[in-house]
Amino acid sequence: MSADASGTNPDFHEPVMLSEVLDALRIIPGGRYLDATVGEGGHARAILQAASPGGQLLGIDADPEAIASAEKRLEQFGSSVRLVNENFVEMQAVATRYGFAPMHGVLMDLGVSSLQLDREARGFSFRRPDPLDMRFSSDRELDASQIVNTYPERELGDLIYRYGDERASRRIASAIVRNRPIKDAQQLAEIISSVKPRGRRHIHSATQTFQALRIAVNDEMKALEIGLEQAVNVLGMGGLMVVISYHSIEDRIVKNFIRTAVSDCVCDADSRRSPVCTCNHVPTLEPVIKGALMPTASEVEANPRSRSAKLRVARRI
């Protein structure tokens, strides 16, 4: 595979907010870093280059196809990189197993990879008649077809609303139930489009429903909460945690996690009912930036998938 002077490769998609990630991690030569959602290895490649000489990177991904792709992209780094097919809820155990903890930095990019959207026949994309699967790992029993074709209408509508922020969730759930059995992703997208017009900014009508199904299939919100805890545990003192989220549910979890982790008190000490702190909470993080960083207009133009990205940073104390 050929690459230009900048190191880009037409066979791989470029990572989101790359320069912001590198700045946020404040990479040092010889540092140890964890890419907890390594995907095709775009962020990992840049981190390893910045950490040279002597830098090391541990890459984790629940998708075995992503690991295989990252291995090709990162093969030039040899023993400086170790890639493991594992969910990031196991990052602490994996880091301990391979002697990577404590870390100088952890990156969690929570987006669905271009590999999954463009190459995988698992139903992540609504543009092809792929099977309704949506599992990151085949080890999981629940897939999107089971949800779409067996869940009661009310439960299905609740799921689409909760995980997709979809206002038309009831109409969509009703249309899905009326048209069962639904065989593939393209058919599902057409059913959704028949009851919901295309949204603003040319976002496909099925985007939020597909997001909701993917989140439910992979239990992503619970995994994120566990993963954030584990990221703090593997960081050394002064280590940096960088998280990129792509929708409001994820970002809310990340924001609330950081807010709690930086607080001296998380009980009701500020209320009249409990004027004295009783929680004895000890902060584990400190904020590095106020709020969240977002991609530049030029990046959004070049890569529309980055448009909803939000990057948050905190430091281990």
> pLDDT tens digit string along 249-260?
899 999 999 999
Pairing of strands 235-245, 103-109: parallel
For 121-214, give the CATH class. mainly alpha
Instruction: Look at residue 124 and tell me whether its pLDDT is greater than 80.
Output: no
The predicted-structure confidence for 276-285, as pLDDT tens digits, reads as follows 777 788 899 9
- 22-36, 85-99, 123-137, 228-242: which has the minimum mean pLDDT? 123-137
In this prediction, residue 3 has a pLDDT band, given cuts at 50, 70 and 90, of: very low
Task: Give the count of beta carbons closer than 10 Å to the beta carbon of residue 240.
Answer: 21
pTM: 0.84
Letter string b/e over residues 289-313, b meaning 16 or more CB atoms within 10 A of that residue's CB = eeebbbbeeebbeebeebbbbbbbb
Nearest residue to 134 via CA among 54, 205, 68, 63: 63
CATH 2.60.120.10 is right for the domain spanning 18-109+220-316 = no
* pLDDT value of residue 280: 80
Going by the DSSP 8-state scheme, the letter that residue 29 receives in this structure is T
Domain boundaries, the chain: 18-109+220-316, 121-214
> How far is Cα 281 from Cα 285, in angstroms, rounded to an integer?
12
Same fold yes or no, 18-109+220-316 and 121-214 = no
Which helix (H) or strand (E) segment holds residue 303: the answer is: none
> How far is Cα 287 from Cα 261, in angstroms, rounded to an integer?
9
* pLDDT value of residue 135: 87
Q: State the virtual CA torsion across 294, 114, 230, 220 in degrees, nearest 10.
A: 100
* pLDDT value of residue 2: 32
* pLDDT value of residue 272: 52
Q: What angle do CA 65, 66, 72 make, to 5 degrees?
A: 95
* 37, 109 Cβ separation under 8 angstroms: yes
